[in-house]
Every structure is written in C-alpha cells, then in structure tokens.
A and B are shown apart, each in its own frame.
Chain A
Amino acid sequence: MAKYLLLKHYRGGPAPAVDWAPMDQWTPDEVDAHVQFMRDFAARLEETGEFVDTQALAPDGAFVRYDGEGRPPVTDGPFVETKDLIAGWYIIDVESWDRAVQLAGELSAAPGPGGKPIYEWLEVRPFLADSPTVTD
C-alpha cells in the first residue's frame, strides 16, 4: 500500500476543461448535490479501507517568509482574486498509482451546475515512504 495526496485546486490547475461558475451562482439543489457527493466519496473510501484523511482549507491565507535576524517575518497576500487556491485535500492509502489516479478521476467528476461533472483538476502526489527494513 502507498499513500497519495489528492490536492484540490478549486478552479486552478492546467487549462480548465469546463469553466464553471463559483458555487454561489449554482442553484441550492446543485450545491447540496455537490456537498453530498463529497461526503459520499469519503464514506466510500472508508468502506474500502483506503481513507486516511480529508481536510478543507479556508481560501484566505498569506505567504510568509523570514526577513533576517531580529526582524518580524514578511507576509504577502491574501490573494483574493486568484483562481488557483488549494481548497483542501484527501489522503488515500491504496494499492497502486493506477488506483490513486482512478480515485482522483472519480473525485474530479463531482457534480456542478446542471448536475454535470465539474472536471476539477486534482493533483495526485505520492508520499515519500519510510525506508524498508530489508534493503538487499
């Protein structure tokens, strides 16, 4: 088994397949269907024994960096207008890369306006594992 991060980029990532409107422009039923899909996805992963964690992030944060001895850190942002904001993630523990890609594909098909898939870009990244006990 190997762990993968499925990073939700909201409306960011490579060129969008569908340029869907922000959620507050959907109908209430479409919002409900989307929220329900997310909940069901996590439940399904728990059932298959592949769920590790999911978290949602608030959109507004800031970039922060060190600014030299004795000085307070420098901050930049929040960047309110950007489309590429990391909205959250799933961490899954699965048999293979192929399985991770398959699950990401399913998550990307979350319903949007008109109940149609939003084709959201998900970034799939393998976790670096601990080194094995037997190495030769």
Chain B
Amino acid sequence: MIAVIVRRGADFAAAEDAVQDSLVEAVRVWPDDPPRDPKGWLVTVAWRKFLDAARADISRRQREVRIEGEPMSGPGEAVDDTLRLYFLCAHPSLTPASAVALTLRAVGGLTTRQIARAYLVPEATMAQRISRAKRTVSGVRFDQPGYVATVLRVLYLVFNEGYSGDVDLAAEAIRLTRQLAARINHEEVAGLLALMLLHHARRPARTRTDGSLVPLTEQDRGLWDSRLIAEGVDLLQAALARDRLGEFQAQAAIAALHADARTAEETDWVQIVEWYDELVRLTDSPVARLNRAVAVGEADGPRAGLAALAGLDPALPRHTAVTAYLHERDGDPVTAARLYAEAARSAPSLPERDHLTRQAARLNAQLRS
C-alpha cells in the first residue's frame, strides 16, 4: 500500500500518513458500505488523502510566507520555540492521552520510563504512544496561539492525575504551567496556574497518613500551604482584573473562596454559588452543575441542593454520592445510607470507594443504635 503511494510520487512519511488516514476512513465507511475491491478502494482514498495533505501544506507555507512578510505588531507577538512546542504537543489532532504523554516527554523532559510509571503502563506501550503522537504532529509546522485552550486542558489533565509512583505529576503540571505563564500573557493561563496552586496548597490536608480521604469540611486548615494560597490569590486577582473571565479563573475563584475561610463554617457559599453560575454559563458542563448543587445545598439548604440536581443525568460520576450527602444533610439517614452504599459501588477510585463505604457504615451504625 505505502509502496504504491510512494511510487506515485509521495515521500515515505507522507505516504505512511495517507495510508493511515485511508484505513481510518475504511473503519468509518466500510461497515455500512463495504467496497467490492478493498485494496483498490484503499489506494484511491490514500492517494486522495495525500493530495489533500500536500495541498494544505502548500497553502500553509504560503500563509507562513505572508505572515513572515508582515511587520511584527509588538514584542508580545513573537512565538518562541518552547511556546511552539507547547502548542504542537497539545495539537487538536492528538487524543488527550497522546497529548499528555507528548507534552510530558517533549516539553517536560521526563523520560519515557518515568511517564510510563506515572500512568501505570508498560514502558514499551508509552514509547509507542509517544512515537505515534510525534508522527501525528510531524507534519504540523506552525500554529497560531489560538490553541492556548487545548494546551491548558492538557496541563489540567496532567495536574488532575495527581501523584502515583515516583513522579509527582501535580508538581510537574505546575512547573509546566509556570513556564507557560512566563512566556505568554493570557488571563486563563494565569487562572489555571492559580487554580493549581490553590488546590496544591490543600494537599497536605487531603489524605490521612493511612491514605484515606479527608473531605474539605473536615480538613485541618492549619496544614494548608499559606504561601501557595497567597501566590494563587495574587495571580487570580491580576487575571480577573483584565475582565476576560474564563473557566479556569472561575474555578480558581471558587478554590480561593475555600482557601479564604479559616473554618468550614466561615465559607462564603453564597459567593461560591455565584461563581458556579458563571462556570455553568461558560462551560455548560454537567460536572459544574453537579458541584453547583452541592454549593446550593450549603448556601440555601439541602432541599434547594436536591432541587438543583433536577435534570442532571444520575449516571454522572459522583451524582449518587452528592445526592446521598444532601439527603443526610436533609435529615434522612436511611436514604443517605442506601445511596452512599450505591455510590461506593460506582466509585472511580479505591480511596473514594473506601470513603463512601465508611459513610454508609457510619449512618447504618447510627440507625442500629
């Protein structure tokens, strides 16, 4: 297949890409419309893919020449090599997992072995994922800074993976976001960095020595890192002052309000609900709506919180756990215990499952006595 396309005049890498693309197309089309001559079909489609790619390449180069010919509009416009690498590694043509792996390898400089260990996959698997990702973006030559949003999403994914094994991915994500923030003046980059710092600040209080989870309301706030909180709040205030709100700034604002409360009782839930309203407006995300329902439950009472759950898909992760919590607050331990046990069944991680099982056990023990 590749040889046929090369013979027709494509270079090897381009031919390989074109054949890959034709196979993808085949997977999509064949189940409904199988061709009589599969090989002929593939060659035709691969050749068409090659021509499309070549044309796009030529027009991109022409665009680049035009852009380079234009005078720079200011010092902030120059895209340095490191920045270009961020954009390339988070290119929309990559799957999130590939973008994450490539970013850690190429921008972060972690070894393939370290990345593999962090994500609990064999080193050969990670090596393959990275080399496929490199191949996918090898044809990409220039990206406008319009892809900042995808870069941020990749960094956020890395941060959320936390720290399993010998690589602290949360710390690595903060390092990479700092480096990005130093190179690009963008309110959402600052917002994401603030968000990471504010959450990282709580890390010492989030788990007990035996690894079990401590809910926000029960955390020893004296263990929170006040230096990180101060830095996060400063960054966030400067970002918000630019008056171009985005989802990461809104999330950071919520984290900042939690950080600001010396005790759980002092939490300004009314303001937190307002920020969740902003977040829902910006993202229309069901997860944001779910978290908003918790905040509503604290601000206006558990009944209001349960009402805020209306219309959300019960299959949403943590939906059952949130419902259980609101029923407990509403003075219905029977329903709450049943829902906590059900939530434990569908918990996405072992610490969460243990935590939810314990909540169910606690209520059931109360009900027996």
Check A60/B210 contact, CB under 8 A, given A24-B337, A31-B354, A32-B358: no
Asked if residues A28 and B346 are in contact (CB atoms below 8 Å), the reply is no
In Å, the complex CA distance between A128 and B101 comes to 33
Whether, in the assembled complex, A15 has its beta carbon less than 8 Å from a beta carbon of chain B, the answer is: no
Q: Which residue of chain A has the shortest Cβ distance to B365 in the bound complex?
A: A27
Asked if residues A35 and B212 are in contact (CB atoms below 8 Å), the reply is yes
Contact residues in B for A39 (Cβ distance below 8 Å): 210-211
Whether, in the assembled complex, A70 has its beta carbon less than 8 Å from a beta carbon of chain B, the answer is: yes
Q: Which residue of chain A has the shortest Cβ distance to B344 in the bound complex?
A: A24
Asked if residues A26 and B361 are in contact (CB atoms below 8 Å), the reply is yes
Asked if residues A24 and B212 are in contact (CB atoms below 8 Å), the reply is no
Interface string of A29-52 (1 = CB under 8 A from B): 011100110010000000000000
Asked if residues B210 and A24 are in contact (CB atoms below 8 Å), the reply is no
Whether, in the assembled complex, B362 has its beta carbon less than 8 Å from a beta carbon of chain A, the answer is: yes
Contact residues in B for A26 (Cβ distance below 8 Å): 361
Interface string of B19-36 (1 = CB under 8 A from A): 000000000000100100
Q: Which residue of chain B has the shortest Cβ distance to A21 in the bound complex?
A: B364
Asked if residues B357 and A24 are in contact (CB atoms below 8 Å), the reply is yes
Asked if residues A25 and B211 are in contact (CB atoms below 8 Å), the reply is no
Check A23/B211 contact, CB under 8 A, given A59-B345, A60-B346, A70-B31: no
Asked if residues B212 and A23 are in contact (CB atoms below 8 Å), the reply is no
Check A58/B346 contact, CB under 8 A, given A25-B361, A27-B361: yes
In Å, the complex CA distance between A58 and B344 comes to 9
Per the 8 Å Cβ criterion, residues 45-95 of A in contact with B are 56, 58-60, 70
Q: Chain A interface: which size bin?
A: 10 to 19
Whether, in the assembled complex, B341 has its beta carbon less than 8 Å from a beta carbon of chain A, the answer is: yes
The minimal Cβ–Cβ distance linking A11 to chain B, given in whole angstroms, is: 14
Contact residues in A for B357 (Cβ distance below 8 Å): 23-24, 31
Whether, in the assembled complex, A22 has its beta carbon less than 8 Å from a beta carbon of chain B, the answer is: yes
- 9 extra A-B contacts, CB within 8 A, seeds A30-B361, A39-B210: A24-B340, A24-B360, A24-B364, A25-B361, A27-B361, A32-B358, A35-B354, A39-B211, A59-B345
Task: Write the residues of chain B forming the contact surface with A, with a CB cutoff of 8 angstroms.
Answer: 31, 34, 210-212, 337, 340-341, 344-348, 350, 353-354, 357-358, 360-362, 364-365
Q: What would 9 A/B residue contacts be, using CB atoms closer than 8 Å?
A: A23-B344, A24-B364, A28-B358, A28-B365, A31-B357, A36-B210, A39-B211, A56-B353, A58-B345
Task: Write the residues of chain A forming the contact surface with B, with a CB cutoff of 8 angstroms.
Answer: 22-28, 30-32, 35-36, 39, 56, 58-60, 70
